[in-house]
């Protein structure tokens, strides 16, 4: 049986269902749920075409770091309802790679905390991305 933390902070090789992530932050006191829904695009930041992505992670550490980020948000804004799920493996263009949901009483808190969560996740959580396209493949920092 999964613990509450395992349900709220996940690295998975299965397709992400955004509604499941959102359900993890529903609470009668929340008037807003802000969702970051990151999908695979058809080009890299460099402009190079991408056919698909491959993600790898140090799963246990990644989930622990997600929980740490949520704790920072709780301490900074008093927000308890946070969930993050990141996908690993091969992802096609348009597939969701990451979904973050933040539930709060008011919308401004939700937007700030959700932006903070994705920025921190991209910088600190041990998940690595390889872009594969017609011109080859490249690991991205």
Could you say which DSSP state residue 41 is in?
Answer: -
Note the pLDDT of residue 119.
Answer: 97
User: What CA–CA distance (Å, rounded) separates 96 from 93?
Assistant: 9
Cβ atoms of 81 and 27 closer than 8 Å: yes
Closest listed residue to residue 3, CA positions, set 47, 67, 56, 65:
67
Lookup result for tokens 């080859």: 136
CATH class of domain segment(s) 4-134: alpha beta
Cβ atoms of 55 and 38 closer than 8 Å: no
β-strand pairing of 9-12 with 81-87: parallel
Q: Where are the alpha helices (DSSP H) in the chain?
A: 4-8, 18-23, 59-77, 107-124
Q: pTM higher than 0.85 for the full model? A: yes
Compute mean pLDDT per 10 residues along the chain, 141 residues long, and list them.
Answer: 65 97 95 97 89 97 97 95 98 98 94 97 96 92 74
Note the pLDDT of residue 92.
Answer: 97
């Amino acid at each position: 049986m999964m613990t509450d933390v395992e349900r709220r902070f996940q690295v998975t090789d299965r397709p992400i269902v955004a509604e499941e992530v959102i359900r993890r932050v529903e609470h009668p006191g929340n008037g807003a749920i802000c969702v970051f829904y990151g999908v695979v695009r058809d080009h890299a930041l460099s402009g190079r075409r991408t056919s698909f992505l491959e993600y790898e992670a140090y799963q246990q550490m990644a989930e622990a770091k997600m929980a740490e980020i949520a704790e920072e948000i709780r301490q900074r804004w008093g927000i308890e309802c946070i969930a993050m799920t990141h996908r690993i493996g091969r992802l096609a263009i348009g597939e969701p790679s990451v979904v973050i949901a933040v539930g709060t009483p008011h919308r401004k808190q939700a937007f700030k905390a959700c932006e903070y969560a994705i920025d921190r996740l991209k910088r600190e959580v041990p998940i690595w991305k390889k872009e594969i396209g017609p011109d080859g493949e490249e690991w991205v920092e």
